[in-house]
Each structure stands twice: as C-alpha cells, then as structure tokens.
Structure 1
Amino acid sequence: MRTDLHFYATAAMPDAGAGAPAPLDRRVSNDDVIDTYESLQGWAKLADELGYDTLWLTEHHFQHEGYEVTPNLVLFGLHLANITKRLRQGQAFNVVPTWHPLRLAEDFAAADLLTGGRMVFGVGRGTVPRESMTLGAPVASGDNAMSKELDAINRERFEEAMEVIQLAWTQERFSYHGKHHDYPPAGIPDRGATVQELTLVPRPNRPIEIFQPVSSPRTLSYVAQQGFHGVFALASPDRMKRSWDLFAEEAAKVGRDLAPGEARAMQLMVHVGATTEQAMDRVRPGHDEYVKFLSPYGRFGQYDGTDLPFDYAPTLEETRAARAMAVGSVEDVVEVLGEFRDKLDLQHVLLFPEFPGLTREEIDEQLVLLAEEVMPRLGVELTAAAQR
C-alpha cells in the first residue's frame, strides 16, 4: 500500500477547541507562519527518513486564522524536495481557477524537471470565497442559489483550464479557444505576423498523473472519465465504499476499466495514543477546532446517517463512531485502517496527523508510530522504516 502524508500546514494553536475564539476572530502572526514553515521542513525530513512516499500540502490564501498557510505548493514542494533525498512532493490541491493555467503548467513542469520527477500534480476547484473570489475565481460555499450559480461558472473555468494544461504539456505546438480561456489571443503581433500557436517552455519529460478530490457526484464522474486519480476523504467506510465503486462504474462508461482500488486514494485523519482515552483527550481540541472551521463549508456530510445538515458539526464521539477518522490506540487505528483496506482494496492512503493544538514533537511522534507500529500491522513496511 502506498503510504503518504498530508498536512494542511496549520500554525500553532494552543487555544484550539470548540469554544472561543471563533475562526474569523483568530489571527496568527507572520512569525507564527514562519514557525509553521520550520515545522514542515522538519516533518519532510523525518518523513523522508521513515520511508513515506509523498508529502502533500494544501493551497490556501489570506488565512489569517492560521489553519492553512501554504499559498504556493509548487514553490514549497520544490524547496522540500531540495532538502530531502527521495520524498515526493504532492499538491492537495492546486486551486486551478485562481491560476493562469499556463503559468501553473509552466511552474509545475519546471519544478518536476528540477527535482527529477519528484512532483505529484493535484488539482481542485476551490471552496473558500474569500480567497478564490479575491484571486478572480467565482466560487461560493453553501447550499444556496448563489453558490450553485457561481459553482457552475467555476466548474466551466476549471474544466477548460485542465484541457489547456494537458494540451500544453503534451503538444509541442498548441492553441486553445474556449468560453473562458483563449490562447493565444487573436491579433498578437510577432515579427511581421500574428501569433497562431504557442509552445510551453519547459514541458514535462514524463506523463503526469493528475489527482483531484472527489466531493460531489458530478465531480466523481468527471474525475473518473477524465482518467484522473480520485482522492476521497471524511466518510464512513460504507459511504466511502459506495463512492469508491461508483468511481469505477463511471470510469468504465468511457472504456477505463479499473482494477479494485486502482486510481483511487483515501485521505484519513489519524491520531495514535498509548490508549484510546489518551488519544481522544489529546486530539479532541484539534478535532473540534477543525469542525468549527470546516463545517460551514459542508465538509462532514459523508458520515453515517441520513439528512445530515449541510453544516453538520460532529462531536469526536460521532466521528469515531462513523470511523471517518482513525483516533485511538495502535490497535484502534489499525482496526479502522484495516476496515477501509478490506472494503476498498485500498492501494493508496494519505495519512493526516496534523491536528491544531498538537506540538511539533507530538506530530513527530505520530509519524514514527504510524510508520513503525501501525502500518507494519497491516502488512505494510515503509522502506526506510524497515531498515531502522
């Protein structure tokens, strides 16, 4: 099983929890952000030593609350690749509508070449209006008419941009004229003529796999039929299984026959303690902080149960009962991961150990426990960990 790590890159939050401060009232300092970057560099080096395959980071902007403070994943990944030996660097996810697609294509291609193919390309459409709309992308979160209208425009722009990126990567000469993207624009003068085609410099020297989060039925169908890898998260095993299988059915409609578990990855938030009680006590503030921050964006709707409200805000006990995260002793976490592995024929997992309120040293401990205690009990030996 390919075993990766995923970090939001959240600043230190000693006051994390369900109560005050409210998310929008929290403000971290620039020094807090710099400290977070120092921690990420340490986690990358440790992950490299332990034998994890890929470290994934998340793109967000203007997060004065400090939850996710890495705005440029290609740039950060290039740096982390330079201070590690073999660890690959993934983007979970580049928010494509906020980018000029050709700049994203260029930047990724250059970084991939400079790192010897150690970059992993992930894309998303964005969820946070404050950042996406400021950067020119129409997006709104929420279950209302405005969000649906803006979401439709966002989806159009995203899908065109993905066509542009793949065309630019694979064709020595290309042009694209769509509803939202027009390259090259008509009438550009150049040496007595007008530009009719473009050439991306540089282009990748290998086929690039594309990963995208699956967050709705329409996105599931799109990702499966485009030949991308789907990334699934925050669902109970049974809910995950239904989406997992539907992905393969949608892929088959266009002749993409997938083996069980193929082209699908699962992100799972995890925390390991000496006992179940210790793990719950230590992770509760971070769990509740994430729920407080993310529930208005509808992130917890794939738990067990029917008619969950869009802004469902689960307790830690409800999260553990749904098995949407793996929190507990080594045995507890192995059991939850084992259930997902068996139900999904899981081949690729992104373990997420970073909860607000945990110290850098506590997260260091999680990386070691997962590599040396949890994964071996599932029959997975991380290469470097097995050699220690």
Structure 2
Amino acid sequence: MELDILHTLTNREGKDWHEVMQVARRHVMLADELGYDRVWFGEHHFDTDGTDAIPNPLLLATDLAARTSNIRLGLAAVSLTLWHPVRVAEDLALLDHFSEGRLDIAFGRGILPIEVMTLNPEANRWDGSATSQEIFEENFEIVTGLWTNNQFSHVGKRYTLPVPGTKFIAAPGAKNAVGWTDEDGTLKALGIIPKPFQQPMPPLFAVTESADGFARAAHRGTAPITWYPTGQVLHDLIALYQRERENATGVKPAYGQDVGVLRIAYVARTDDEARRICEEAIVDFFTFICRVRGIGVFLDAHEDPADPRFAHIDDPWQFLMDRDHLFIGSPESVHDRMARMSESHGIRRWMLHMGFPGIGHDLVDPSLELFAEEVAPALRATGK
C-alpha cells in the first residue's frame, strides 16, 4: 500500500507568496518525517485565485530534495507540450541526481487554456485536431530517447536532432564523442549529460481520466493516475488498463495494479469536526468543477448528467460522500472508506489532497499527523 500526498501552493488566505512557499517546505518536510511515500506537485501557470501556483514543479522539487531524506518527489504532471523536449530531459535528469533517485514523473498535455495557449498555442487541445497529441508523442519520444541512448537522433514533424550541418567542436584533449560525428566532424547523433540517476529512467506515470488515456498508458508502460472516476466508471477503466497491459506485454497485471487514485482528504478527531472544517471549501470546489467540467465527472456509469435531479444539488457534501469522492472524517471513517475502495477496486496507490483550496495552511499539519499515526498503519498492515 503506497500512501502519497498531493501538495498545491494554495493561497486563498491572501498570504505573502514567499510565506506560502515556506509552508510548502514545512508540509513536505513533515510528510517526510511521518513516513508518507511520495509528495506530488502539478504544473500550473498564471494562478490568480490561489488554487495552485507552481509554474515550475521541477524547481520546487529540487529545493525539497535537499530538505528531505526518504519521501519520493512526484511531478504530476509536467506539461510536456509546453517544454522544449531536450531541456526538460536535461532538467529532469539533473533533478533525479539531486534527489538521489527519489524522482517520479507524470507527463501531461496541459489542462487550462490560459496555460497552453500562452506558452504554446500550437498545442491547442480544444480545436478538434490531433496536434496536441502529436506534439506530446514526439516530445515523449525525444525525452525518453535522450535518457536511454548515448547516441540519439530524431527526425520528426517539429524537431530534427541533431540539426543537419551542425559541427561538433571538441575541447583539446577531451574524449572522443563516440558515434556523434561523421568523418568531417558534422553531428549525426547526440546525447544528454548526465543521464538520469535511475536507470534506465525514473518511473513514469500518466495523469488521465479517459479510456483512451488508460489504454495509451498501458501500451506505453506508464502507470495511470486518475482523480474523478468512481464506482463502475473506475472499475471499467481499471479493467481496460489490465486488458490493454496484457495485450502489450503478454502478462496480465493484478486488478488495480499500477493504478493510482487521487482523493480530497482530511482527518480530524470526529466526523463532525472534519465536516465543520472542510464543508465550505468542498462546496466551493464542487461548484467550480461543475462550471469548468460539468456534473458528469462526479457521476457513475449508470447516471445521466442530463437527468433533472442533477440540475441542482442541495447537499454537495453528501452527494460527493455517497460517490466516494471524499476521504474526510475521523480516522476510523477515513480508514473504513479507503479500505473498502482498496478492496473493491484493487487500489494500492492513494494520493491524498489535504491542503485543498479553502483549508488554512495551519490546519493541514494536524490532518497529516492524524492520518500518519492512526490511519496509515492499519492500511499498511492489512494491505487495504
């Protein structure tokens, strides 16, 4: 059983941003001391509403690598379509060394229009074209190729590496760059230095909620991480991953193997106290997601978003609880809910978002401690 946390740089309290980053250090160092397996960070730009202001999770993880000892540092996700593939391959390889092999990486395509359209409008994923996916696939091929080959070359729709006609100028007395040049010193291949600390590369994950995303992950060999799917929807995605992974490798994984599930979480001494602390923030979260993505992301397979009973939800808290979207309550309640879903869906990797928008920074610490002390041991002891 792997128990991870998702950390976001939230700032609904209007604090100085430097203080928010200091809080991130405190929470991650505490999670390291408490024995959590990983901490995950996403990449988000232009955050004005205090939801998550981490424009460069690689830099944040580099800082935290020097301040922690055991916790793994997960990036979920690096928006691969918004980076130059050579630079991100180099930066991630260095981070893997700084953390001494504690790095896990999920790649994505960016999820907010303001991010994608500002940083790389060609990667528009809302225009009905396949361009965004094409960019992702080419960049993924380049990054993983650079990590695993000393002599790498690539000819694609957007990049040709090395650029034809580029000369290699060697330093006097330096070792020959074997396989990099032809007879006249023109580059025909190249490589990044250093390669990642973990060989052949850090563990790779995929943030996805769709059947297509789960199938791609299975064939690419990346472990899927998902948030909203629940009930039968989650069952169907797990079964799809299991089936497609067997098709790709010839080996059928255990049901739920490799699949990570994210849930909003908070642990207090009693259910009532947890609800008092979290309900307003949960209602705001529910309202925002419904505006952006629609009610459908919270529904099960048999439920129709057009059903009139979903036009207005009187009690969002209970609505989300009934569909297992929230791990919030006393230690006993949170354990029972997680154990039940671990059993029903075979989940062995949980990501818990305790510091979600609207929860005061100082309120996160006791939840981290209570979960680690009173929930995690029982989950780990039984495997569920």
TM-score between both structures, scaled by the size of structure 2: 0.87
Partner of 1:325: 326
Instruction: Give the counterpart of 1:194 among 175, 186, 193.
Output: 186
Q: Higher mean Cα deviation, 155-164 or 174-183?
A: 174-183
Partner of 2:128: 149
Deviations 1:151-195 (A, max 9, x none): x21111111111111110000011111123322223334456432
Query: Which whole-Å CA distance do the structure 2 matches of 1:187 and 1:285 have between them?
Result: 61
Instruction: Give the counterpart of 2:49 among 65, 72, 95.
Output: 65
Instruction: Give the counterpart of 1:265 among 260, 263, 272.
Output: 260
Cα 1:313–1:124, aligned 2, differ >3 Å: closer, same or farther? farther
Partner of 2:362: 361
Q: Which letter maps to 2:259?
A: R
Partner of 1:168: 146
Cα 1:349–1:256, aligned 2, differ >3 Å: closer, same or farther? farther
Q: How does 1:29-68 map to 2 (within 5 A)?
A: 32-68=16-52
Query: Which whole-Å CA distance do the structure 1 matches of 2:243 and 2:349 have between them?
Result: 19
Cα 1:100–1:381, aligned 2, differ >3 Å: closer, same or farther? farther
Query: Which whole-Å CA distance do the structure 2 matches of 1:347 and 1:276 have between them?
Result: 25
Cα 1:353–1:161, aligned 2, differ >3 Å: closer, same or farther? same
TM-score between both structures, scaled by the size of structure 1: 0.86
The answer to which structure, 1 or 2, has the higher relative contact order (CA under 8 A, 6+ apart) is: 1
Deviations 1:98-134 (A, max 9, x none): 0111111100101111221011111111110101111
Deviations 1:258-314 (A, max 9, x none): 1233222111211223332322221122212323433344276152252326x9996
Q: Which letter maps to 1:241?
A: H
Query: Which whole-Å CA distance do the structure 2 matches of 1:307 and 1:61 have between them?
Result: 33
1:4 and 1:56 in contact (8 A); partners too: yes
Q: How does 1:1-388 map to 2 (within 5 A)?
A: 1-11=1-11, 13-14=12-13, 32-138=16-122, 147-150=126-129, 152-190=130-168, 193-205=185-197, 206-207=199-200, 208-257=202-251, 258-298=253-293, 301-304=297-300, 305-308=302-305, 315-380=316-381
2:62 and 2:95 in contact (8 A); partners too: yes
1:3 deviation in Å? 1.0
1:94 deviation in Å? 0.4
1:271 and 1:326 in contact (8 A); partners too: yes
Q: Which letter maps to 2:217?
A: V
1:10 deviation in Å? 1.0
Q: Higher mean Cα deviation, 159-168 or 280-289?
A: 280-289
SS of equivalent residue, structure 1 residue 66: coil
> Which runs of no fewer than 5 residues in structure 2 stay unpaired?
170-183
1:230 and 1:264 in contact (8 A); partners too: yes
Cα 1:339–1:246, aligned 2, differ >3 Å: closer, same or farther? same
> Which runs of no fewer than 5 residues in structure 1 stay unpaired?
15-27, 142-146, 383-388
Aligned Cα RMSD in Å? Answer: 2.3
Q: Which letter maps to 2:195?
A: R
SS of equivalent residue, structure 2 residue 319: helix
1:88 and 1:120 in contact (8 A); partners too: yes
1:174 and 1:198 in contact (8 A); partners too: yes
Percent pairwise identity: 27
1:41 deviation in Å? 0.3
Aligned residues: 359
Cα 1:137–1:219, aligned 2, differ >3 Å: closer, same or farther? farther
Query: Which whole-Å CA distance do the structure 2 matches of 1:246 and 1:312 have between them?
Result: 31
SS of equivalent residue, structure 1 residue 9: coil
Query: Which whole-Å CA distance do the structure 2 matches of 1:197 and 1:139 have between them?
Result: 27
Deviations 1:74-114 (A, max 9, x none): 11111111011212111011010001111111001011112
Q: Higher mean Cα deviation, 289-298 or 207-216?
A: 289-298
1:370 deviation in Å? 1.0
1:374 deviation in Å? 1.6
Larger radius of gyration: 2
Query: Which whole-Å CA distance do the structure 1 matches of 2:272 and 2:114 have between them?
Result: 38
SS of equivalent residue, structure 2 residue 272: helix
